[in-house]
Amino acid sequence: MNLTRKHVFVAGKVQGVGFRWAARDYARKIGLTGWVRNLPDRRVELCFQGEQEAVNDMETWCRTGASRFKVTDISVSEDSVIEGETGFEIR
């Protein structure tokens, strides 16, 4: 299996609107592992890994999310794959 991992910071109306729970549910649905958490500066940080197509799908989801989220900025970088990581959690 050829895994890839991304580290993402999402800014906008993404705290207090269920973004982390929706991200976790979507990541699990498409078979990704990783985590999501709120940051003190009101952004949300995510790290996720899996097959390239699913990782790209999650990145697209982070940009568009659902109507209750208003993403104003996103920063994406490649990250090192973590061997043996299981599950997707809210931190």
Instruction: Please answer whether residues 7 and 59 qualify as being in contact, where contact means their C-beta atoms are separated by less than 8 angstroms.
Output: no
The domain segmentation of the chain, as residue ranges, is: 3-83
- State how far the alpha carbon of 67 is from the alpha carbons of 30, 38, 63, 78, 88, in Å: 20, 19, 11, 27, 23
Does 67 have pLDDT greater than 80?
A: no
Does 65 have pLDDT greater than 90?
A: no
Task: Output phi, psi for 72, to 5 deg.
Answer: -105, -20
Residue 88: which of 39, 46, 53, 44 has the closest Cα?
46
Catalytic residue among 2, 28, 37, 38: 38
Catalytic residue among 5, 20, 24, 43: 20
What average pLDDT does this structure show over 47-63? 96
Assign a CATH topology to domain 3-83.
Alpha-Beta Plaits (3.30.70)
Q: To the nearest whole percent, how much of the chain has pLDDT over 90?
A: 86
pLDDT tens for 21-44 read 999 999 999 999 999 999 999 999
56 catalytic? Reply is: no
2 catalytic? Reply is: no
Instruction: Please answer whether residues 5 and 47 qualify as being in contact, where contact means their C-beta atoms are separated by less than 8 angstroms.
Output: yes
